[in-house]
Structure 1
Amino acid sequence: MSRITAVEVFAVTVPFARRFVLGSGAVGTPDQAGAVVFVKLTTEDGVVGWGEQRALPSWSYETAETIAVVIRRHLTPILLELTPFDVELFHREANRRLSPSVSNGFPFARAAVDIALHDAAGKLAGLPVHALLGGKVRDELPLCSAIGVGTPEAVREHAVASADYAAYKVKIGGDVEADARAVRTVADEVDGKPIWLDANQSYRPAALLRLLDATRDVPGIHCLEQPVPSTDTLGLSRLRSLIDLPLAIDEGSFTAQDLSRAMRLDAADLVVVKICKAGGIRNALKTAQVALAGGVEVLASGLTDCGIGFAAAVHLFSQLELALPAELNGPELLSDLYVANLSIEAAVAAVPTAPGLGVEVDEERIRAEALDLALN
């Protein structure tokens, strides 16, 4: 077995192609780039695995600095004793070194490493990542457009521009009148395609009930994601008994254990699965398996990933039954993905078939644009 001999970490500010705003604030704009941390693993045989993760502390607590320092100082000593196939052993040792406490410890840092492990393992085995997970059940993955909080004009322009997409996630920000206008604007343009509302914790029950009353006649609204704070699982459960729209849990469920607890409280009809919050591909798969075993539907999502994270998500979701098309919005929202060999046509991603993640990483550009975080 080929042991890991080197771990490198690079933080890069990645420009956005368009403004993208959540209920919790701006993720990025053409003038406000977001930080992405790339990880490169090299084995004693010279095989390379790449991982990545976006730093978005307004969504979860990890910053580019903490992701980089956790990988360099705490996860690298673990990795240098392992092979790329030792994914479960890596997570066990990471849990021992950095206790996950109630939920998940440094999941974004661990997810970047986990993706790199899968990439290297696939290359060593001569297999695509989805084959390491049990194999794909589809060759293509339809995508969902992500429409951020904005003016009616900006929302309409985005909806029209994303006409190829099979579904639409519409971000809502807590302003009942503005959100109702945005939902109606999208519905007017998408010809009955499914609309997935995402509040990103920005609502309280009374205001939410007013929003749902104001949009009751809007066709195509499929579900509502995480209206209340992530810690308020009981509030989510109470809302589920008050409204007739299916509720999805996202920020309130990072791990399979989190989801199991939410299910016991009857708090969700659907769960949003993201590699970043689960701490990696294999842990995200465990969450999905708990959901499907318990009658909770799976929604696929990411965190505006570049090409490495996007490819990892496509491999994962190629083998799962999904409630809606996958909301993997990096190709839609970023100006560059830092990889080649991704195939996306008419908002449908082809599942890569080459070994590992199946993408060619632009290492030269990543190295040239890497930030000096002064953490060595």
Structure 2
Amino acid sequence: MRIIQINVYSAPLPVLGGTYRMASGSIDFVESTLVEVIADNGIAGWGETCSNGPVYQPQHTLGARAAIQEIAPGLIGEEASSIRSLSRRMDARLSGHNYAKAALDIAFHDLLGRSFGLSVATLLGGALTDRVETYYSLVVGYPNETARIAADKVLKGYPRLQVKIGGHDIENDIETVHKVWEATAGKVRIAVDANRGLTVAAAIQLSRSCQAIPIVLEQPCNTFDEVASLRGRVWHPVYLDENTEDQNVVLRAISLGIADGFGLKVTRLGGLSKMTAVRDMCAIRSLPHSSDDTWGGDIIAAACVHLGSTVEPRRFEGAWIAQEYIDGHYDSANPITIREGHIAVPQGPGLGVKPDPGIFGKPIASYG
């Protein structure tokens, strides 16, 4: 089974219901990049990568497409049954750009699963559950409104909330955390996510002011070293998110003991292959983590859910997908949807989802 063609597509994803606000900026519109990898047996696998604009992280849309342009021609004719070999081939074609390689890696898993009649979860070691937790992300806002939305999401069954902070005075952030805690009455787990938006001093002040509230501080500060300096100075567990650019950073954080858990992104780490290795590193140290991505549609959502289903449930912090913020689905027959704060693991071979024919129009690039 050899790769004979790779098609690249673009999918516009305007943010549904207004602006998604984080400390690093606001998002009104994103554009996802999808790849279709076709083998000589006629079977195709799909992958996706979607950045949160050009500021949230170094990854960006045009960068992904330029990187795929460098990599894809070198994959034509390659044996598709060895994902490890294909990963080495991608690295030989281009250094770095994990977020672009991730789209291809996801497609390889989908192709292999479809060819052998196996789900991606099975390829990753086997699902431990038939549905995974997700969580709702409360965008940066004002205390009373954020608390009102939080209470509504508890009623809708979400077991975990992520409260975005930053961009306001620290007093506003502290009040928001207290209001959310009061509104949810301890019925959900709460992560307070600054998206790198706090100084060390502000992170310590927030933790001190919310000492009695059982929260997790997610990526409170900008750099790895700033987060490391919080050890022993805050009253809450600290998770790394944006700093986890590759497997080595995760390994370093674990070995230095500066992270109590992780908010992990499939495409940021380079795809399902590398995320699986990180999953196993976290398992060795009993560290909780999520299985998320920055944005995207049914393809990346399915990848997050399949990986999430293989994580020990007691350590799993949820699979965040963008479904609440986008209109429609790529696969109208088998959409990835959130029901009562959980997502069913897709059934069928591969990812279990396949874009409707013609939904993306003509490819923006083709190789092979």
TM-score by length of 1: 0.89
| Matched residue, 1:167 | 160
Letter in 2 for 1:63: H
CA contact (8 A) 1:273 1:288 kept: no
Structure 1 position 76 matched with structure 2 position 76:
no
CA contact (8 A) 1:122 1:132 kept: yes
What is the CA-CA distance between 1:343 and the residue it aligns to? 5.1
What is the CA-CA distance between 1:172 and the residue it aligns to? 1.1
Q: 1:136 to 1:75 in 2, by over 3 A?
A: same
Give per-residue Cα distances to partners, 1:123-162, cap 9 Å, x unaligned. 1001111111121011110211111111335423432442
Among candidates 321, 330, 339, match of residue 331 of structure 2 = 339
Identity %: 28
Q: 1:358 to 1:247 in 2, by over 3 A?
A: same
Among candidates 58, 61, 65, match of residue 61 of structure 1 = 58
Letter in 2 for 1:348: H
| Matched residue, 2:219 | 226
CA contact (8 A) 1:248 1:271 kept: yes
**Separation in structure 1 between the aligned mates of residue 243 and residue 81 of structure 2, nearest angstrom:** 30
What is the CA-CA distance between 1:266 and the residue it aligns to? 2.3
CA contact (8 A) 1:270 1:297 kept: yes
The worse-fitting range, judged by mean Cα deviation, of 291-300 and 119-128 is 291-300
SS at match of 2:12: strand
Structure 1 position 204 matched with structure 2 position 199:
yes
Give per-residue Cα distances to partners, 1:319-365, cap 9 Å, x unaligned. 11253541413122222332231354212111112001001313422
SS at match of 2:185: coil
Runs of at least 5 residues in structure 2 that lack an aligned partner in the other structure? none
CA contact (8 A) 2:323 2:337 kept: no
Give per-residue Cα distances to partners, 1:223-263, cap 9 Å, x unaligned. 1111122xx32322220221121111112222222111122
**Separation in structure 1 between the aligned mates of residue 49 and residue 176 of structure 2, nearest angstrom:** 30
CA contact (8 A) 2:211 2:236 kept: no
CA contact (8 A) 2:302 2:351 kept: yes
| RMSD after superposition | 2.2
What is the CA-CA distance between 1:84 and the residue it aligns to? 3.2
Structure 1 position 262 matched with structure 2 position 253:
yes
| Matched residue, 2:92 | 96
Among candidates 179, 189, 202, match of residue 183 of structure 2 = 189
Letter in 2 for 1:22: M
What is the CA-CA distance between 1:295 and the residue it aligns to? 4.0
| Matched residue, 1:20 | 20
What does 1:1-376 align with in structure 2 at a 5 Å threshold? 2-18=1-17, 19-26=19-26, 28=27, 32-56=28-52, 57-71=54-68, 73-99=69-95, 105-163=96-154, 164-174=157-167, 175-192=169-186, 193-218=188-213, 220-221=214-215, 223-229=216-222, 232-322=223-313, 323-340=315-332, 341=334, 342=336, 344-367=338-361
CA contact (8 A) 1:240 1:246 kept: no
Runs of at least 5 residues in structure 1 that lack an aligned partner in the other structure? 100-104
SS at match of 1:40: strand
SS at match of 1:55: coil
SS at match of 1:240: coil
**Separation in structure 2 between the aligned mates of residue 347 and residue 76 of structure 1, nearest angstrom:** 37
**Separation in structure 2 between the aligned mates of residue 80 and residue 279 of structure 1, nearest angstrom:** 20
CA contact (8 A) 1:84 1:118 kept: no
**Separation in structure 2 between the aligned mates of residue 48 and residue 309 of structure 1, nearest angstrom:** 16
**Separation in structure 1 between the aligned mates of residue 22 and residue 82 of structure 2, nearest angstrom:** 36
Q: 1:153 to 1:336 in 2, by over 3 A?
A: farther
What is the CA-CA distance between 1:12 and the residue it aligns to? 2.1
CA contact (8 A) 1:312 1:357 kept: yes
**Separation in structure 2 between the aligned mates of residue 172 and residue 152 of structure 1, nearest angstrom:** 10
The worse-fitting range, judged by mean Cα deviation, of 156-165 and 88-97 is 156-165
**Separation in structure 2 between the aligned mates of residue 312 and residue 228 of structure 1, nearest angstrom:** 28
SS at match of 1:52: strand
SS at match of 1:317: helix
TM-score by length of 2: 0.91
What is the CA-CA distance between 1:316 and the residue it aligns to? 0.5
SS at match of 1:273: coil
What is the CA-CA distance between 1:367 and the residue it aligns to? 1.6
**Separation in structure 2 between the aligned mates of residue 155 and residue 260 of structure 1, nearest angstrom:** 35
What is the CA-CA distance between 1:313 and the residue it aligns to? 0.7
Give per-residue Cα distances to partners, 1:163-206, cap 9 Å, x unaligned. 32111011111531221222223223223111011111111111
| Matched residue, 1:102 | none
What is the CA-CA distance between 1:6 and the residue it aligns to? 0.9
SS at match of 1:187: helix
Letter in 2 for 1:281: L
